[in-house]
Amino acid sequence: MAGIYVHFPFCASRCIYCDFYSRVRSDWTAYVEALVKELSANGDFFKGVSPATLYFGGGTPSLLPVCELKKVADAAREIFGVAEFEEFTLEANPDDVTPSSAGEWRKMGVTRVSMGVQSFDDSHLKWMNRRHTSAQVSEAVEALRSAGIKNVSIDLIFGFTGLSDGQWDDNISKALSLAPEHISCYQMTGRYSHPSEELCFSQYAHLQDRLAEAGYRQYEVSNYCLEGYESRHNSGYWNRSAYLGVGAAAHSFDGDRLRRWNLADIDKYEGGAAPIEESLTDEECIEEILMLGLRTASGVDLNLIPADYREKMKPALDHMIRTGSILKSDSRIRIPSGKLFISDWIVGQLIV
């Protein structure tokens, strides 16, 4: 499923864990003009296919005035001949969500809002340098529902120093009480991550159990949803569909072997700096199929892997199947849910 990703690298403040490219800045007029220019220059990017999804990510897209966001959304619709995108996601911080902003986003065409909640513990939110409080999360969800946005996703973070098992369970309970259609959960990395992998695995496994009991299906390593509410845009990344990324630091993929990315520099981007391109080799394409596909619950169809490569990885694959690290049904392989926490390691054993 082809999609468009637009990166808005603006934040009111920096969170301690973030490694995405963003800057604390509020002057975005020139940037929006550059986005529209890049969209226009790539009107022929999708070869005979119309993009089905539009994703405004960041940074913090919800910081921008709706009039600026609308310029980009309207340009995308006009340039690619799309009346309405099947899924239009906007990333937002809870403190940016008001009845007014939610209503304006919905009028703009947004069908899905992904909120960076991260925690329901105000002391942890303050430590992370988040701008919102736990109470604002509930208010934000109510505002989105009232505006007619029927697909709400929230992000949570686990596996950091200072997060007890009891606090993590409370975060999950409070998330479930809001009945979001989608929940994404990420382990904190870097210097603030918890030094015990055993504790991180325990929190991940507890999350899996709690969400499964509540009717959420895990369809990818970090993503859970109610039936029918998978992120269609992000799923395109994992099945290697074509996507156009515009904005500073944004990446694009033609659905075959061409990958390109813009410099992670707003000033150079606004100045028209050319993107960097690379063409993947046959082996790199195979590795991507394995790495991306085995992140998902549906896994990988081995028929997508050339016979000579399948033969080379057969000893490792047979061992993984015998030990239960990989499940095989007909031509499809997948990692069982209990092993998804170590999916990177498992995939690494198959790369030859």
Which helix (H) or strand (E) covers residue 69, if one does?
Answer: helix 66-80
Report whether 86 contacts 52 (CB < 8 A): yes
Write down the pLDDT at residue 18.
Answer: 78
- The CATH topology of domain 281-352 is Arc Repressor Mutant, subunit A (1.10.10)
Q: What is 3-236's CATH superfamily?
A: tm_1862 like domain (3.80.30.20)
Q: What does the block give as tokens for 314?
A: 């057969």
Write down the pLDDT at residue 22.
Answer: 73
For tokens 């100045």, name the residue. 271
**Range list of β-strands (E), the chain:** 3-8, 10-11, 23-24, 53-58, 87-92, 112-118, 151-158, 182-187, 217-220, 223-225, 243-246, 251-253, 258-261, 276-279, 300-301, 327-329, 332-334
**Range list of β-strands (E), 26-146:** 53-58, 87-92, 112-118
| Four-CA torsion 142, 65, 72, 223, nearest 10 degrees | -30
CATH 1.10.10.920 range(s) for the chain read: 281-352
215: left (phi over 0), alpha (psi -120 to 50) or beta: left
Q: What does the block give as tokens for 1?
A: 């499923």
Write down the pLDDT at residue 350.
Answer: 97
DSSP state of 150: -
CATH 3.80.30.20 range(s) for the chain read: 3-236
Write down the pLDDT at residue 225.
Answer: 98
For helices 343-350 and 307-322, the axis angle rounded to 10 degrees is: 130
One digit per residue, pLDDT tens: the chain, 352 residues?
A: 899 999 999 988 878 787 767 777 778 899 999 999 999 999 999 988 999 999 999 999 999 999 999 999 999 999 999 999 999 999 999 999 999 999 999 999 999 999 999 999 999 999 999 999 999 999 999 999 999 999 999 999 999 999 999 999 999 999 999 999 999 999 998 889 998 999 999 999 999 999 999 999 999 999 999 999 999 999 999 999 999 999 999 999 999 999 999 999 999 999 999 999 999 999 999 999 999 999 999 999 999 999 999 999 999 999 999 999 999 999 999 999 999 999 999 999 999 9
Q: Distance between CA 94 and CA 142 in Å, rounded?
A: 11
3-class SS shares of the chain: helix, strand, coil, % to 5: 45, 20, 35
